Amino acid sequence: MIPTVGYLEERFDTFNSMCFGGALPRIPIKLSKARGFVGRLQYRVKRDWRRRVVGREDFVLRISTRFDLPEAEVEDTLIHEMIHLWIAWKGLKDSSTHGRLFRAKMKEINASYGRHLTISHKSTPEELDRDTRVRDHFVCVSQLSDGRTALTVCAQAAIPRIRRTFRLSPTVRSSEWFHSTDPWFNRFPHCRTPKLFPVDPAELAPHLADTE
Ligand SMILES: [Zn+2]
């Protein structure tokens, strides 16, 4: 899913009362086009005239919309950032960015609510590149009427339906189908319904080089 601000705000409130006893302040949540992270908490450190830290302010929580992740991963990313917020807001001291305190809170949340939070943000571009399982992918590359290129990776059984939909769709100008086992395609969900993921043609090209 690609989250919206409204969705993230609702989830934030829910996890705040569920996992943090409602201790966290509501902070601005913004969407980002960044490729370098999935979620990120930003804030300024407030200092007094002696340069001593007296608090933290201007919190912003950013979630990237570059990746179409399963909903559970979007939620886990949000909770991960909320642990950072909890530590920063309360002025707690941790041994490092994801230190003892962070890990203890993370373990507690995982155990209590059956979540799968990790220290590393899940599914960053580097991690996506590390997913090297060889699987069958049926890939449709579409040229959209607005000039963009879009990808659809689907289950074999869904091909006829998706092909039919695209043929009738005014947004799709033309489509080409490929079969590939390139692990690069692992990052796209296998769709059962026609979904289009805009991609950078230059990034895509090498992965279509030896497909059928
Ligand atoms: Zn983190």
CB 143 within 8 A of CB 99: no
| DSSP SS3 for 2 | coil
How many angstroms separate the alpha carbon of residue 151 from the centre of ligand 1?
Answer: 30
The verdict on pTM exceeding 0.95 is: no
Specify the DSSP element, H or E, that contains 96.
none
Domains of the chain: 5-127 (3.30.2010.10), 132-208 (no CATH)
Walk along the chain (212 residues) and give the pLDDT tens digit of each residue.
999 999 999 999 999 999 999 999 999 999 998 777 789 899 888 889 998 888 899 999 999 998 888 899 999 999 999 999 999 999 998 888 888 999 999 999 999 999 999 887 545 555 566 666 677 889 999 999 999 999 999 888 889 999 999 999 999 999 999 888 888 888 887 888 888 888 888 888 888 876 77
Q: How far does residue 182's CA lie from ligand 1's centre (Å)? A: 30
- Quote the ligand 1 centre to 181 CA distance (angstroms): 32
Q: How far does residue 120's CA lie from ligand 1's centre (Å)?
A: 6
DSSP assignment of 63-90:
EE-SS---HHHHHHHHHHHHHHHHHHHH
Residues 6+ apart with CB under 8 A from 195: 152, 189
